């Protein structure tokens, strides 16, 4: 947390749980770029040999991005061997000058898709649907249409036949959605190509909600956030937490937040903190600690279904053999991968990783940028949340640099 002091200084509190371990004053530069660090662990407070190496690595990788891209604020969290470290920079709002804290809510854009995939797999574990189902089995208006030739798995892996990145402007109400899918014409057979698409995984999330008999936002908060202790995560931010909801800043440097859209909650609607999102990352690295069927749902998001270049597409998460080259990681998260159809090769049968694997997902809205990555075999992971849409290559480079350092720490007790 930041305590304001005159003459450009700030005080940093370093915390293990609720115990204050050290209290220091340091020179920090402009107030808008002040950083605070909170170290959060479930174990009793004890010496942490890793923190002196992690903090400068995160600072060196991410602090320059604030000035380079005129980013108002950012939160970065890492996990190493079960220990969580949360670093906060800058301000949540330029108008109020309120600093980013561990409670600041950011839009995470398409990182939300990992939650949508988890919910769909939980619905399957509960016997409410099967990934082999056709959409028309759950949404009668789509029976017999072209989209009904695809499976729910195709929807979740963007391989339904060429659905676009976004709905056209004419689809601006939920009532418009069935007509769009009924008249949609595929560019390829299901499974032949991957074309990244909000309508595609959005339809999967919508169908999962129908199958579970509830509202998507309520189901995600009840079935995923609550069991994982993600008490600062929302699809609909309650009024009581709006003061913690950061303002995003668009290309014109105007404050913005995400606008409602068809399948917006399912495709890019989660708002959360870095501290909560790193809990989700840890749950993905250690699903054995979860109660079924959530455990099996999380494990299901780690199964690979299609090879697309050097990346393997799962449900929500994208996979790479670890260690992964920067070139492969950047290619898998490139604008071409997001905006253009790519040839897809089905993995038959679908495969869980057979060796060390890096899982990742990027996310963006008009005013926010996010990234999450983790390597279960090394028990290391990182999340970055910012209230500006930082170019994805810079997010990747910064996160990869920190993961390189985390990978040298060895087992953490």
Nearest to 364 by CA among 69, 95, 145, 103: 69
Question: Is 196 part of the annotated catalytic residue set?
Answer: yes
Cα 78 to Cα 11: distance, rounded to the nearest angstrom: 21
Cα 337 to Cα 196: distance, rounded to the nearest angstrom: 7
Cα 345 to Cα 213: distance, rounded to the nearest angstrom: 34
Q: Which pLDDT score is estimated for 48?
A: 77
* Tokens describing residue 397: 């480079």
| CA atoms within 13 A of residue 22's CA, in its CB half-sphere | 14
Higher pLDDT, residue 2 or 142: 142
pLDDT bucket at 344, cuts 50 / 70 / 90: very high
Domains for the chain: give ranges and CATH numbers.
2-114+217-406 (3.40.710.10)
Cα 262 to Cα 201: distance, rounded to the nearest angstrom: 12
Tell me phi and psi for residue 211, to 5 degrees: -65, -35
Average pLDDT over residues 211-220: 98
Q: At what angle do helices 392-406 and 51-68 cross, to 10 degrees?
A: 170
pLDDT bucket at 304, cuts 50 / 70 / 90: very high
Beta-carbon contacts of residue 372 (< 8 Å; ≥ 6 apart): 111, 114, 277, 280, 281, 360, 361, 363, 381, 382, 383, 384
Whether the Cβ atoms of residue 28 and residue 87 lie closer than 8 Å to each other: no
Catalytic residue among 10, 36, 110, 112: 110
Model confidence over 287-301: pLDDT tens digits? 999 999 999 999 999
Q: Is the pLDDT of residue 412 over 80?
A: no
Higher pLDDT, residue 153 or 12: 153
Nearest to 124 by CA among 156, 149, 146: 156
Model confidence over 238-277: pLDDT tens digits? 999 999 999 999 999 999 999 999 999 999 999 999 999 9
Catalytic residue among 196, 245, 249, 322: 196
Whether the Cβ atoms of residue 131 and residue 151 lie closer than 8 Å to each other: yes
DSSP helix/strand/coil, 357: strand
- pTM of the prediction? 0.90
Q: Which pLDDT score is estimated for 49?
A: 81
List for the chain the helix, strand, coil content (%; round to 5): 35, 25, 40
Question: Is 110 part of the annotated catalytic residue set?
Answer: yes
Model confidence over 103-126: pLDDT tens digits? 999 999 999 999 999 999 999 999
End-to-end CA distance of the chain: 25
Q: Is the pLDDT of residue 136 over 50?
A: yes
Average pLDDT over the chain, rounded to an integer: 90
Q: Which residue has the tokens 């998460």?
A: 317
Nearest to 294 by CA among 113, 120, 122: 122
Cα 129 to Cα 208: distance, rounded to the nearest angstrom: 7
């Amino acid at each position: 947390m930041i305590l304001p002091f005159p003459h450009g200084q700030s005080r940093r509190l370093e915390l293990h749980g609720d115990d204050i371990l050290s209290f220091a004053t340091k020179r920090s530069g402009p107030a808008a770029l002040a950083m605070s660090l909170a170290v959060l662990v479930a174990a009793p407070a004890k010496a942490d040999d890793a923190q002196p190496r992690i903090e400068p690595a995160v600072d060196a990788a991410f602090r320059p991005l604030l000035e380079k891209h005129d980013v108002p604020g950012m939160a970065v969290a890492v996990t190493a061997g079960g220990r969580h470290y949360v670093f906060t920079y800058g301000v949540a709002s330029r108008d109020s000058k309120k600093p980013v804290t561990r409670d600041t809510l950011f839009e995470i854009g398409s990182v939300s898709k990992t939650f949508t995939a988890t919910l769909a797999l939980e619905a399957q574990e509960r016997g409410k649907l099967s990934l082999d189902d056709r959409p028309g089995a759950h949404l009668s208006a789509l029976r017999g249409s072209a989209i009904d030739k695809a499976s729910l798995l195709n929807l979740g892996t963007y391989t339904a036949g060429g659905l676009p990145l976004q709905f056209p402007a004419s689809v601006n109400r939920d009532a418009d959605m069935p007509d769009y899918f009924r008249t949609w014409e595929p560019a390829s057979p299901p499974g032949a190509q991957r074309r990244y698409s909000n309508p595609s995984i959005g339809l999967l999330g919508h169908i999962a909600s129908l199958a579970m008999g509830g509202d998507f936002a309520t189901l995600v908060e009840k079935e995923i956030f609550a069991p994982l202790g993600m008490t600062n995560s929302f699809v609909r931010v309650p009024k009581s937490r709006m003061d913690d909801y950061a303002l995003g800043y668009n290309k014109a440097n105007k404050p913005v937040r995400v606008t409602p859209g068809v399948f917006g909650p399912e495709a890019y609607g989660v708002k959360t903190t870095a501290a909560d999102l790193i809990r989700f990352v840890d749950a993905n690295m250690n699903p054995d600690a979860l109660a079924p069927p959530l455990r099996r749902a999380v494990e299901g998001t780690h199964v690979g279904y299609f090879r697309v270049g050097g990346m393997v597409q799962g449900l929500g998460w994208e996979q790479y053999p670890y260690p992964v080259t920067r070139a492969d990681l950047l290619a898998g998260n490139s604008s071409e991968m997001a905006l253009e159809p790519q040839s897809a090769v089905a993995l038959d049968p679908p495969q869980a990783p057979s060796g060390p694997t890096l899982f990742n997902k990027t996310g963006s809205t008009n005013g926010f940028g996010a990234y999450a990555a983790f390597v279960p075999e090394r028990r290391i992971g990182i999340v970055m949340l910012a209230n500006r849409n930082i170019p994805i290559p810079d997010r990747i480079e910064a996160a990869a640099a920190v993961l390189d350092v985390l990978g040298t720490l060895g087992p953490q007790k």
